Amino acid sequence: MDEVLIGSVLASTLRVTTPLLFAALAGLLSERSGVVDIGLEGKMLSAAFAAAAVASVSHSTTLGLLAAIGVAIAMSMVHGFATVTHRGDQVVSGVALNMVAAGLTVVLGIAWFAQGGQTPPIAAEQRITGLLPQWAEPTPGSWMASVIGHGLLSHNALVYLAFALVVVVWFFLERTRPGLRLRAVGENPAMVDAAGVSVPRLRYTALALNGILCGLGGAYLTLAQNASFSPNMTAGRGFIALAAMIFGKWKPVPTLCACLLFGFLDAVAIRLQGVSLPGIGEVPVQLIQALPYLLTVVLLAGFIGQAIAPKALSKPYVKER
């Protein structure tokens, strides 16, 4: 039975890590450009709602995905307008976006679908399903089929996209000219400005990319992981992603590791309920659920390594004259 357990824990870890990874990479792009993004939660929630609403009405996965991305980009642009153009407080703007998203998704859901805030279920044909359905369940007795097949290869395209994006974001930030500029604008915007590159344009670009990724993360929740939208279904994932990004010290690969760790904790939390671990005893499920937050606080306090934020983070840029 070990192979079944390992295979299914591996599979569910990857599944719950995916939305965290999309959102954490989104936050990373925005924060490396110097714009704090507390609004990840709200953007994912709105995107999840948009994807479910559009896909269930139009019967098109593509339209659902586009709607999710569109809504998330629009919210990122509002954030940019408030904080980059008008130098408003980035945290306040993020808090506002989260509130608007938490309220509006339910208001519109009830008004349009009259199902207590849920969207109608999305038909099986429109859902994004596993690429290799023969491994949808673990096979007892076969390590190959359970761990490699079910654990690693049974997932849908968005899961693999999320993991591939870690490499893409890393390459973009570390090896390309626009990526270098994006990092520079988060550390020393005056220097970037002096070099003749527009600070607002770079920050808006980072926010647009952030919107695309948040949109994918939200769409994953309703088109792949669940079959409909329900109120507040992100349930703090945006904040766990924020924690993962900080835990990953604002770098793509460590952020991936943090997302995997938090995803693993989430995947085993249910399985460990009421189970007595050797030497530790029974671990309360609330403790496992709280661990991502606890670990992030401990890291931020400087007790495990050091997390150094981009220097210009949260500081609006005032062009010198």
Based on the shown chain and the rule CB under 8 A, indicate whether residue 301 belongs to the binding site for another protein: yes
Of 26, 52, 82, 214, the one binding another protein (CB under 8 A) is 82
- The structure tokens 């608007």 sit at 100
286 by Cβ neighbours in 10 Å (0-12 / 13-18 / 19+) ranks as: exposed
Q: Could you tell me which residues come within 8 angstroms of residue 124 by beta carbon, excluding any fewer than 6 positions away?
A: none
Q: Does 275 bind another protein (CB under 8 A)?
A: no
Min dist CB 97 to another protein, Å, is: 7
> Applying CB under 8 A, does 192 fall inside the site for another protein?
no
> Which residue's CB is nearer to another protein, number 10 or number 67?
67
Work out the number of other CB atoms within 10 angstroms of the CB of residue 59: 13
Integer distance in angstroms from the first to the last C-alpha of the chain?
Answer: 70
Dihedral class, residue 117 (left if φ above 0, else alpha if ψ from -120 to 50, else beta): left
Q: Which residues have C-beta within 8 Å of that of residue 306, sequence separation ≥ 6?
A: none
Cα(304)–Cα(38) distance, integer angstroms: 23
Site string for another protein, 99-138 (x = CB under 8 A): xxxxxx-xxx-xxx-x--x---------------------
Binders of another protein in range 221-250 (CB under 8 A) = 231, 236, 239, 242-243, 246
Give yes or no for residue 311 binding another protein (CB under 8 A): no
Query: How far apart (Å, rounded) are the C-alpha atoms in residues 269 and 59?
Result: 35
160 binds another protein (CB under 8 A): no
Q: Which stretch binds another protein (CB under 8 A): 118-126, 128-136, 211-219, 289-297?
A: 289-297
Q: At what angle do helices 2-32 and 40-58 cross, to 10 degrees?
A: 110
Q: Which of residues 32-51 bind another protein (CB under 8 A)?
A: 36, 38
| Site residues, another protein (CB under 8 A) | 36, 38, 78, 81-83, 86-89, 91-93, 95-104, 106-108, 110-112, 114, 117, 231, 236, 239, 242-243, 246, 284, 286-287, 289-290, 293-294, 296-297, 300-302, 307, 309, 318-319
